[in-house]
Structure 1
Amino acid sequence: MESSTLYQILLYCTSPLVAVALILYLFEKRKTRQLAGRVVAMENVAAFHQERLKVLSEAAFEGIVLLEDGICLLMNSQAEAIFGYRSKEIVGLPTTVLIARQDQQLVLDNISNQFNEPYEVVGERKDGSQFPLAIYGKSLEYQGRVVRAAALRDLTKWKKRDAERMLLEEQLRRSQKMESIGLMAGGVAHDLNNILSGLVTYPELLLLNMPEADPLHDPLKAIQKAGERAAEVVTDLLTVARGVAMVIQPENLNGIVENYLQSPEFEKLAKNHPSVSIQCELAQDTPAILGSAVHVGKCLMNLVTNGAEAIQGEGKIQIRTYRSQVRKQRAEELLLAEGVYSVLAVGDSGTGISQQDMEHIFEPFYSRKVIGRSGTGLGLAVVWNTMQDHKGCVQLKSDRYGSCFMLYFPVTDKEPENLVPDDDFSFLTGNGETILVVDDEPHQLAIAGQILGNLGYKVEKAESGEKAIKWLEGNNADLLILDMMMGQGMNGYETYTQAVQLKAGQKALIASGFSESDEVINTLRLGAGLYIKKPYSLGQLGRAVQQVVQGEKS
């Protein structure tokens, strides 16, 4: 009411007492109205602070829980998403319902002790599932009371990333170990394979026209076998070093298994382990792979041998092939791309492999066997590196009932070829084609010359890349056989580069036991047809020459 109006009322009042009472009433009413306004203002401020608290908690990256005496007062939406509860389901309950039983006392102790450092426990969702949970709790004053605020973070993704990082670090560490062996192997492999060529090939050439009754037949055969075994050891070293010459072509896993079961190596193993039975389950719909039958077969032989030696007394080894569709989650576990894979699995009923050994089982020379009697200590390292070279992976499962190795190979749409056996030379003869052999080792030139001469080819020889180019300036060759690493002057890649400039479309075959991978790839891209590993047999060289001369590249 306006003061002028009040004054007019007082003028008309006949009693002073009435006037005073009226004035007091009006002032009291005004005071009450002011107090009510203050209360509303305070309520608005409180509502504002409460809304601000809600907004801040909702904006937080972590889940937020506010508790007093261990009882939940507030839960934001991120915490609801982490645990699967609605806020109204948790408010008023002990916050330990969010923690796995084994860690509840730890959380209660940290609350009572006002522990203000981050720590990790096992959280438990509404559905009972458990997960790694990080908690950062802090005591603070809220509305005049001491309460506890906890920031919560689900560590599942972080743990997975840490595991992946640790796996990559382990792979790097393993690769560095392999590299150290590779430096050693690469330094001697070229010369050693050239020496072994004589031990493997000369006996084979002498035996071609020698009757079995000849007294020198068996000794020469023994020399040849010894050379082949030595070459296998070098091949194992080079496989571990990831520098071996590998013939990659469409192969059938079932065929590789069947060939192994008919091999002298398997026959010897079966004789040495008569109480071990071999069971095979070869799926007919197993797709072809793009790989090296020699190296996959060596992996199979190593795994079967290890399995047999792991069995004490009677037992069994199971060899399986099958088609596997590897989907996203499984692909992430195996570090493979999603898609279809052909799997070669070898399981045994042995005593299993300890967790400690499983962490090192694929490392070179890590073996529980007696070196020189049971093996070289390279068997599983060869398996691991072969799978890396084939862009696949090997998975191991083991317990006290036995072990199983599963080899995952990428598949191909190409059909495997039916190859001629090494001891059948009737299909490998040439028609007088001219072949220029380029090698800095005189005895290697002699070996290649004798093999190719026996197969009906005309052979020319050059001790260096420079001499080969000079010969090509005035002559034509149907095929060049190039050593990749030569002591002086041009190497195989440089020689072939000049050869194709001189003779467009010049055909070539690489013959080497070890060389720099980029140079091999560049030579093949330039037009070379095949890469054959030294030391080679008569059948291996004859088949490779025939393929390239006839224009059939693998």
Structure 2
Amino acid sequence: MKNSQTPENPARIRAQQVHALARLMPPLMIVNLVNAGTLVVVLYGTDQLTPTIAAWSVVLGFLSVRILVKAHAGRLENAPEAVSKRAVNRVVRSAALFGAVWAFPSMFVLPSVSGWSQVFAAALMTGMICGGAIALYPIPLAAVVYSGLVTAGALLGMWFAGNAATIGLTIIAASFFYIFYEVIQRHAQLFVSEFVARLDLEESHKSVARLLLETRSEATEEKKRSERRLADAQKMEAIGQLTGGIAHDFNNLLAVIQGNAELLEQLELGKESHPITSAIRHATGRGAELTQRLLAFSRKQSLRPKAINMRDLISDMSDPLQRMLGETIVVATRSHNSSWNALADPGQVEAALLNLGINARDAMPDGGKLTIECADVTLDEDNSVDGADITAGDYVVLSVTDQGVGMSEEIREHAFEPFFTTKGVGKGSGLGLSMVYGFAQQSGGQATIYTEEGQGTTVKLYLPRAFSEINREAVPKEEAVPRGNGETILVIEDDPDVRKLAEIMLGNLGYRVIGVEDAKAAQRHVSAKGEIALVLSDVVLPGGQSGPEFADELKTARPEVKVIFMSGYPTEAAKRNGFLGSDSVLLNKPFRVAQLARAVKEALA
């Protein structure tokens, strides 16, 4: 068996010692009474009893009986866990009292008697010194006090008489005094060491407790922050899915409106119709811009990322921004901490700068300074910037800082949400910051806001570093709208208005058109009409089979038939969601007649 021992508590040990001494008090008092009575009897039998010795025996008897009664009344069966300092001092006082009482025979009895009475007194005094000191050993101070007083009495007796008995008693008493003096010195040293160690241990316990409390508090706060970030991410994801779906359906409506406006222009109804069709096309253009912002927030817009020299871009944008913001706002640009290129869509970066500039102008109605900076940053595995999660890596950070009114914490938490705005009715759509946020997220980066009320706002775009060189692309020349030569095109679109519009557009371009609403109807026409040259299909179709799934079956059976997709979901989003392959062609709704004509001509070439 394993022998385990529990370390003793010093306070409990002291309590046990005092308790044992208290239980020993009755027999000690009885010994006092017996020894004093025996001494009186011996002296009386040898005719050496004096009134002084008789008085001493009465005092000793009174004290002994009194302590006997008190010990009997306050007797404890079990030792307490600890004793008070007062209880220890009471034991020391009792030891001093009895030490003074037994010093009396050392001074007067032993030197004044003779014969066998002196021998008996010497033996009795020796026994009282030894027995009393040993009995008081658990409390060394009490033992020293007792033996010290008896020793002092023996020294005085030796000084008065100088006989052999008093000398021997003095030597014995002094020896015990020396022993217990050494004991109490050692005990005091141990006590001090123990006291210091206990203080150190208590301080260590307090430090550990404080550390645990701080760690627990930090862990709780970090958990709350993580939960808030998760809730914000889930909320933004849900809003993004909703806005992406709205933008998709809205693009179908815009495609019909814009397409019919173009068809009206082609009919040449007269100059009076041009303002009407122009207004329609202008409104659809604004609608297309609105859906583009919605798609930017929901990270479903079509991006063309490439290496950008951010220093050149903000330098080129400073003059247009200055003219747009007015003379009351000073535009300052800094790029001395940046040498990397960013991987992003330059058009979207410019749009983000314009949106942030407009927000800054509205935040500084009395004018101020707008600072645009770019810097290179390497993020480690901490994956957090201003409370927002981001993948570790190299980033080019575009910062836009104003000296405006700033935002409250409540407003800042909602600033990236679409249609959230603090501007008056008709003064803002609430899509500027949401577009910036969605663009940064879709580009593989992050957007953050740091703001203080009355101090201004800083919006930062973290765009991934580009490791490729910048390619200078030539601007394509404007070409005439290409026309067809009677080729047959199968249009698959579940929205009847969009399908009818596509049929009219393609018919006016010189193609023969067949329109169906789903993949099953398209399959029947492909089987029956062998002359079909191209399929123009929506990505999402009813009936359980999507446009890309139908195209995969068609390429297996009829590899010569070309396929073009059209959708309210832009190219990058459709590819990311697995709708299209990397070589697929997709027209983003709403599209112009010229865009449709060029896409069809290139596919049939």
- TM score, norm. by length of structure 1: 0.60
- Which secondary structure state, in structure 1, belongs to the residue aligned with residue 414 of structure 2? coil
Matches within 5 A, 1:103-252: 151-153=209-211, 157-175=215-233, 177-178=235-236, 181=239, 185=243, 188-203=246-261, 216-217=273-274, 219-240=276-297, 242=298, 244-252=300-308
Post-superposition offset of 1:405: 1.0
Could you list the per-position Cα deviations for residues 444-500 of structure 1 after superposition, in whole angstroms to 9, with x for gaps in the alignment? 346556777899999776532224444556769887554222344522343245345
* Structure 1 equivalent of residue 204 of structure 2: 76
Q: State whether structure 2 residue 452 is matched by structure 1 residue 324.
A: no
- Which secondary structure state, in structure 1, belongs to the residue aligned with residue 459 of structure 2? strand
Specify which structure has the higher proportion of strand: 1
- Which secondary structure state, in structure 2, belongs to the residue aligned with residue 385 of structure 1? helix
Post-superposition offset of 1:176: 5.4
Post-superposition offset of 1:188: 4.5
C-alpha distance in 2 between matches for 1:251 and 1:445? 38
Could you list the per-position Cα deviations for residues 185-241 of structure 1 after superposition, in whole angstroms to 9, with x for gaps in the alignment? 45654443112113334555777999xx9665554333222101012223333444x
Post-superposition offset of 1:353: 2.8
Q: CA separation of 1:314/1:245 partners in 2, compared to 1, >3 Å: closer, same or farther? A: closer
Matches within 5 A, 1:259-278: 261=317, 270=323, 273-278=326-331
| 2:340/2:466 contact within 8 Å kept | no
| 2:538/2:565 contact within 8 Å kept | yes
Task: Work out which of the residue numbers 511, 519, 523 in structure 1 matches 2:566.
Answer: 511
Q: State whether structure 2 residue 341 is matched by structure 1 residue 287.
A: yes
C-alpha distance in 1 between matches for 2:481 and 2:339? 31
* Structure 2 equivalent of residue 405 of structure 1: 459
- TM score, norm. by length of structure 2: 0.56
Matches within 5 A, 1:358-377: 358-372=412-426, 374-377=427-430
More displaced stretch, 465-474 vs 536-545: 536-545
- Which secondary structure state, in structure 1, belongs to the residue aligned with residue 420 of structure 2? coil
| 2:536/2:566 contact within 8 Å kept | yes
Specify which structure has the higher proportion of helix: 2
- Which secondary structure state, in structure 2, belongs to the residue aligned with residue 288 of structure 1? strand
Post-superposition offset of 1:408: 0.8
Number of paired residues?
443
| 1:246/1:532 contact within 8 Å kept | no
| 1:351/1:402 contact within 8 Å kept | yes
C-alpha distance in 2 between matches for 1:415 and 1:542? 33
Q: CA separation of 1:253/1:437 partners in 2, compared to 1, >3 Å: closer, same or farther? A: farther
Q: Which runs of 5+ in 2 are unaligned?
A: 1-114, 141-182
Kindly provide the amino acid, as one letter, of the partner of residue 375 in structure 1.
G
Post-superposition offset of 1:306: 0.8
Could you list the per-position Cα deviations for residues 299-328 of structure 1 after superposition, in whole angstroms to 9, with x for gaps in the alignment? 333211111222223434333333222345
Q: CA separation of 1:56/1:530 partners in 2, compared to 1, >3 Å: closer, same or farther? A: farther
Could you list the per-position Cα deviations for residues 75-118 of structure 1 after superposition, in whole angstroms to 9, with x for gaps in the alignment? 22883xx8xxxxxxxxxxxxxxxxxxxxxxxxxxxxxxxxxxxx
- Which secondary structure state, in structure 1, belongs to the residue aligned with residue 450 of structure 2? strand
Q: Which runs of 5+ in 1 are unaligned?
A: 1-14, 59-73, 83-150
More displaced stretch, 526-535 vs 474-483: 474-483
C-alpha distance in 1 between matches for 2:419 and 2:359? 14
Task: Work out which of the residue numbers 358, 361, 364 in structure 2 matches 1:311.
Answer: 364
What is the RMSD of the two structures over their aligned residues, measured on CA atoms? 5.5
Q: CA separation of 1:172/1:327 partners in 2, compared to 1, >3 Å: closer, same or farther? A: closer
| 1:509/1:531 contact within 8 Å kept | yes
* Structure 2 equivalent of residue 498 of structure 1: 553
Q: CA separation of 1:518/1:540 partners in 2, compared to 1, >3 Å: closer, same or farther? A: closer
- Which secondary structure state, in structure 2, belongs to the residue aligned with residue 364 of structure 1? coil
Q: CA separation of 1:30/1:430 partners in 2, compared to 1, >3 Å: closer, same or farther? A: farther
Q: CA separation of 1:459/1:260 partners in 2, compared to 1, >3 Å: closer, same or farther? A: farther
* Structure 2 equivalent of residue 486 of structure 1: 541
| 2:309/2:340 contact within 8 Å kept | yes
Identity among equivalent positions (%) equals 26
Task: Work out which of the residue numbers 501, 511, 533 in structure 1 matches 2:588.
Answer: 533
More displaced stretch, 24-33 vs 249-258: 24-33
C-alpha distance in 2 between matches for 1:342 and 1:543? 37
Post-superposition offset of 1:533: 3.0
| 2:251/2:288 contact within 8 Å kept | yes
* Structure 2 equivalent of residue 145 of structure 1: none
Post-superposition offset of 1:343: 1.8
| 2:299/2:442 contact within 8 Å kept | no
- Which secondary structure state, in structure 2, belongs to the residue aligned with residue 351 of structure 1? coil
| 1:207/1:217 contact within 8 Å kept | yes
C-alpha distance in 1 between matches for 2:531 and 2:206? 78
Could you list the per-position Cα deviations for residues 358-383 of structure 1 after superposition, in whole angstroms to 9, with x for gaps in the alignment? 333223333221232x2112322332
Kindly provide the amino acid, as one letter, of the partner of residue 324 in structure 1.
V
